[in-house]
A and B are shown apart, each in its own frame.
Chain A
Amino acid sequence: MSTLALLLMDAPYEQSRTSTAFRLIDAALRRGVGVRVFAYEGAVSLSMTTQKPHANAVHGRTLEEEAHPTPHAWVGALFDLAKETNTPFDWVNCGLCVDERGANEVVAGVRRGSPADFWKMNLESANTLVIPTR
């Protein structure tokens, strides 16, 4: 089975690169392509379960109506999709980056690791895409 590795670096709610990355991962998993993600720096906050949706008075919508997206829900949905499609999916947060940000409460399945894990992911994947922050 073919596998791709991605390194993400942007923090949540900052860049359209984040939703693009999630689209790429979703598309790969739906096609049975395994995905290994290494979250570096601000991207470790993507999987934090303490994120909360909110109502939006400017939109004139309640909490329920707004259905505000939280990246941790996207990460969880990717784990679910991988299970449904029986496709390998791994998400590793850079441990030092987690410590810096106090980003300890994360989606089940997310692991803590180091750049050495990213290098291993790269060696075990058909190709690797680095999506840095700018």
Chain B
Amino acid sequence: MRVLQIIEPAYRATLEEQDDTVLWFTRAIRAAGAPADVLLCGSAVNYSVRGQDAEGFRVGSWSQQHPPAIEQELSKLIESGARVTVLAEDLAERGVSTESMLPGIEVLGRKSLGGLFSQYQRVWKW
């Protein structure tokens, strides 16, 4: 049973969680045997950009260790065999060039979504 995880909200509590909760969940269910892939759309297309750095969060004397590393999360997901796609129109709206993206991420146009969805038995929109 193939699963497509569509991720739209981005950076939601990522400093508190030290990751994106849906990417984390996707890696967790893949570890449990779920053949889950990811489609990034909306603000989450920015997850595909290389060189993000979330270090430096401090509150009083408390300093954040191990900040979220979305780039690594996505890379590990791809290394584990997941297909990661990103919506072309949402990249263009935000001025994100394909040259700035992590390797291994596929760019798909909105017209391709029907064909993409038809490859999955479960499509979960987060």
Complex interface: chain B residues within 8 A of A128 (CB): 122, 124
23 residue pairs of the A-B complex, CB under 8 angstroms, read A40-B21, A40-B25, A41-B13, A114-B28, A115-B25, A115-B29, A116-B32, A118-B29, A119-B29, A119-B32, A119-B33, A120-B32, A122-B34, A122-B122, A123-B1, A130-B125, A130-B126, A132-B9, A132-B22, A132-B126, A133-B9, A133-B12, A134-B9
Complex interface: chain A residues within 8 A of B126 (CB): 130, 132
A:1-60 near B, CB below 8 Å: 7, 40-41
What's the interface size class on A, roughly?
10 to 19
In the bound assembly, the distance between CA atoms of A132 and B32 in angstroms comes to 21
B:1-25 near A, CB below 8 Å: 1, 9, 12-13, 21-22, 25
What's the interface size class on B, roughly?
10 to 19
Report A21 CB to chain B, min CB distance, Å: 15
What are the 4 tightest A-B residue pairs by CB atom distance, in nearest-first order? A116-B32, A115-B28, A130-B124, A132-B126
In the bound assembly, the distance between CA atoms of A114 and B24 in angstroms comes to 12
Q: Mark B105-126, 1 if CB is under 8 A from A, else 0.
A: 0000000000000000010111
Given known contacts A122-B1, A123-B1, A133-B12, A116 and B28 CB-to-CB distance under 8 angstroms:
yes
In the bound assembly, the distance between CA atoms of A48 and B94 in angstroms comes to 41
Asked if residues B32 and A115 are in contact (CB atoms below 8 Å), the reply is yes
Q: Is B54's CB within 8 Å of the partner chain A?
A: no
Complex interface: chain A residues within 8 A of B34 (CB): 119, 122
Report B110 CB to chain A, min CB distance, Å: 21
In the bound assembly, the distance between CA atoms of A127 and B33 in angstroms comes to 18
Q: Is B92's CB within 8 Å of the partner chain A?
A: no
Report B125 CB to chain A, min CB distance, Å: 7
In the bound assembly, the distance between CA atoms of A130 and B125 in angstroms comes to 7
